[in-house]
Structure 1
Amino acid sequence: MLADCAAALRAVRAEPGDRLHHWDLHYGNVLAPLPGSGHGSWPAIDPRPLAGHPGFELLPALRDRWDDALATGYLAGALRRRFDLLTEALELDREVAAVWTPARVLQDAAWAAEEGGTTLDPAQRAIADVLLGG
């Protein structure tokens, strides 16, 4: 799986992107505005700024609320729907983002290995498998 992620990354690494990202954007880091506060926006908290391609940013949102995705009974379809909604809302090229997202899986796996991890997170494995066409 990681070899497939690395092979896909090689295809897009020449276009690393130039946007600043939150890098930990998921449901727990987006707050609803307080009633009566006059703030209509939903602020994102706890950023870990990183410049790069926006497809690299999608993994936390795809794996968040994992039990909800599993409960659908059709995990691949639930992941594709989440991915499609994210890429559409962010106006991203779906095919390019489908390569950058597994690149993030690869990075997370490398970090886990540095800390002694020997297995890939099952949610990340499923996401990479779906996006890489497995």
Structure 2
Amino acid sequence: MEIDIPDTFVEERTRIAGTQGHQWIAGIPALVERLCERWDLRLDSESPRHGANSLVLSARRRVDGAPCVLKVCQPPETTVTEAIGLRAWAGRGVVRLLDAWTDDGALLLERLDAGRSLADVELLPAAELAGALLRRLTMPAPPGIPRLADIGTEIAETVWPRQRALGGPLPGPWVDLAARTARDLAADAGESLVHADLHYGNVLAGTREPWLAIDPRPVAGDPEYSVPELMWTRIDEAAEPADVRDLLTALADAGGLDRDRARAWTVVRAVDYWLWGLGIGLTEDPVRCRRLVGTLAG
């Protein structure tokens, strides 16, 4: 089976996962062929799409021609928690899971309109839609997914070692603030089912609902944890500090969230992502994180 794997995906997986990523990409055609046989699919002619960790191929069921998408992920174990979250949401505000084969890191999903996302909607209206969606996604978390209590504790314990390993690129007081705040948040992190990769490009137009989230990366904890990516992914469109604060307010109010907790998680996750981004050679997002933390932390 021939698959036109985008060069940008090859570069990204190789940068993040090195030789292991390159070997996995080489095995994608054989993997997809096995999955098409398992689920009785035929691929459409559309070019594959991708995120940082997954390749998504448009397909149809042979039995009835129904459209769907085949998603293959590295590492494959990430599909275990994604499938748990999608089954719990059962299509309520998110893409519907049709089937999963987590041993191979594969999910079969309903097809949405990949050409229309909240990234194409004006910023504040998009934030209000995303916040309302975040509110709908908030429900008791099922067992078997990572807990923010553990994630927050890990951030608190690792930000300073990572800062030192990179030569101290972040202002020390901000690292201190992130570590202290992460520890405080972890102590009372809640137990809601949370979409931990919610940004405007991960909310696509659907037919059964106007907007549906994809790529949830579910965790159990505070729904405010979903806010940071909705802040930094489009912060360039918030020209002034007041615009950044207005964006946070719009997201929190539409989502029925605690503003202070949303701000706190935004600072923590921005520092965490800033360090991660510097570690793998990102250039634009660390600058966005610096502006975001500077605005919200002072």
Paired residues of 2:235 and 2:292 also in contact (CA < 8 A): no
Q: Note if 1:128 corresponds to 2:297.
A: no
What is the deviation of 1:116? 6.9
Query: Which of 220, 225, 231 is equivalent to 1:51?
Result: 220
Which digits, 9 at most, give the CA deviation of each residue in 1:11-42, with x for residues without a partner?
33311121122211111111123xxx4x2331
Q: Which has the higher contact order (CA 8 A, sep 6+)?
A: 1
Does the Cα contact within 8 Å between 2:274 and 2:290 map onto a contact in 1?
no
Kindly report which structure 2 residues correspond to 1:90-129, keeping only aligned pairs within 5 A, or say none: 90-112=255-277, 115=280, 121-129=286-294
Runs of 4+ with deviation above 4 angstroms: 113-117
Task: From 166, 175, 189, give the equivalent of 1:2.
Answer: 175
How many residue pairs align between the two structures? 125
Equivalent-residue separation in structure 2 for 1:124 and 1:96 (angstroms): 18
Partner Cα distance (1:15, 1:81) in 2: 26
> What residue in structure 2 maps to residue 30 of structure 1?
203
**Structure 1 stretches of 5 or more lacking a match?**
none
Q: Secondary structure at the match of 2:189?
A: coil
TM-score (norm 1): 0.77
CA distance in 2, matches of 1:90, 1:55: 9
2:214 aligned with 1:61: no
Could you say if the C-alpha distance between residues 42 and 116 of structure 1 is closer, same or farther in structure 2, counting changes exceeding 3 Å? closer
- The alpha-carbon distance between structure 1 residues 126 and 111, as it changes in their structure 2 partners (threshold 3 A), is same
8 A Cα contact 2:277 2:286, kept in partner:
no
Identity of aligned residues (%): 35
- Equivalent of 2:251 in 86, 89, 101: 86
SS of equivalent to 2:188? coil
Structure 1 or 2, whichever has the larger Rg, is 2
